Amino acid sequence: MNLKMKIQKLGGFLAGMVIPNIGAFIAWGLITAIFIETGWFPNKELATMISPILTYLLPILIAFTGGRLIYDQRGGVVGSVAAMGAIVGSDIPMFLAAMVLGPLGGYAIKKIDKLLEGKIKSGFEMLVSNFSIGILGMLLAIGAFYIIGPIIASATELAMLTINKIIEAGFISLLAIIIEPAKVVFLNNAIDQGIFVPLGALDILKQKQTLFFMLVSSPAPGCGILLAYSIFGKGVSKKSAPAALIIQFIGGIHEVYFPYVLMKPVLFLSIILGGMAQISTWVLTSAGLAGYPHPGSIISFLIMLPKGGFIPVMSGIIAGITVTFFTAAFFLKLDKSVDSEEDITLSADIANMLKVPNSTMENKTIQNSEVLHIKDLTTIIFACDAGIGSSAMGAGILKKKLEEAGLKFEVTHMAIDTVPKNTKLIICHNNLKERAYSVAPKAKIRTIVNFLNDPNYDILIKEIKEGEIR
């Protein structure tokens, strides 16, 4: 497993703890934006919910989800109790501790249950089952209170101090050099959920708003790229860009613009410059959001605005779009190649750039060669990093194509790391193919590059009609 895949896997796991609880984050963000003393409708009584939700509810939900990912309900319970030790033992939101202690609690109780398997006398199963959770939870909570919590609190405060020094020195816009390329290669969840969400939560507790929630979620660079393609692109890329623009900017699914950057790597410079422009503008205008804007849609940004935050936040968004658009337009205008709509597709362009075969792409090189007979196929799984954004859109597109072809199959979407091992057919982005193979080695894996109009949708449907997937 290479470094990129390991980071993607970590990001996917972190997202798997945070994203199922996004509704709670939104509820907290709305309460904060509306009812704090500087909010839209200040209310002292209702504002008393803000701190407890941030300090207790959200970290416990994350810890429970992390433990449950490892070992179902029992793992979730132990993970929550363990996280409570760190939460009570610190005066800052313990998001990072929850992300560590939740899975740790799940792993520990899983190992203990395995150790006790077959060794419990009949009639004592419930007693041992409950007390194993209770004793382990107590020990982990004590350890978290005295050791893990203080370590993570110190590390978080050090990170905040370091970033504040970077902001004071005027270098924070340089974060775009890391953030924007990382998003395009599907490392956005590792950065956002692993770093900026915990820092943003701490920042809101102190400042009532935060810049950190916007750094990865902003739709501006992607919007600038797709707008440039809509006007100055060629062939299929120009035709598909307007639809992708609507989905990315309003729907908040950023993955749709990644192929347009990968197709012409010089555009990495455009999104970096756009990212730097928006961050610089936000810092100059003291912009911030009162809650976490997920998905990264302009609608989410507007909903999470603090009172008086419209002009500062939108100034940064406009700056990011403008700089990205003009630099991308410049590079696209410089490109004198002639694209034939009959001979080229967006997917084939990117496949060629990445040095992988197009059409059937890498399907033959990464998986077993056994033929999958359609009579054995009942469910098709569309997987993405977090299982809630691009995979949901891709599953919807595939369902529609199957219906148009008169084919009836269940199409579901999920996080790639939660795909069952016995899955027969997985659809995922080309960048996630190795992870798909690692979770379901016997599955047929079909990859796409462009979620909206990849030719591999039609290739798959053709194979299904023929009765075999090779």
Catalytic amino acids? 384
Cβ-proximal residues to 126 (8 Å cutoff; 6+ apart), any chain: none
Dist CA 2 CA 295 (whole Å): 28
Query: What is the C-alpha to C-alpha distance for residues 366 and 409, in angstroms, rounded to an integer?
Result: 25
SS (H, E, C) 393-438: HHHHHHHHHHHHCCCCCEEEEEEHHHCCCCCCEEEEEHHHHHHHHH
Sheet holding 444-448, edge to edge: 410-415, 379-384, 425-429, 444-448
**8 A C-beta contact, residue 427 and residue 448:** yes
Q: Are strands 379-384 and 425-429 parallel, antiparallel or unpaired?
A: parallel
Q: Give the pair of three-digit tokens for residue 29.
A: 């963000």
How far is CA 8 from each of CA 35, 103, 151, 196, rounded to the nearest angstrom?
Answer: 37, 17, 25, 16
- Helix, strand, or coil here: 466? helix
Distance CA 362, CA 444 (A): 11
Q: Which residues of 310-342 are buried (b: 16+ CB within 10 A; e: fewer)?
A: eebbbbbbebbbbbbbebbbeebeeeeeebeee
Tokens at 405, concatenated: 């072809």
Please count the other Cβ atoms lying within 10 Å of the Cβ belonging to residue 363. 19
- Asked if 173 contacts 276 with a C-beta cutoff of 8 angstroms, the reply is yes
Choose among 61, 68, 146, 65: nearest CA to 109: 68
Distance of CA 69 to the CA centre of its chain: 16
Contact 430/365 with Cβ under 8 angstroms? no
Render 72-130 in DSSP notation, one character per residue.
HHHHHHHHHHHHHHHHHT-SS--HHHHHHHHHHHHHHHHHHHHHHTT-SPTT-HHHHHH
3-class secondary-structure state, position 39: coil
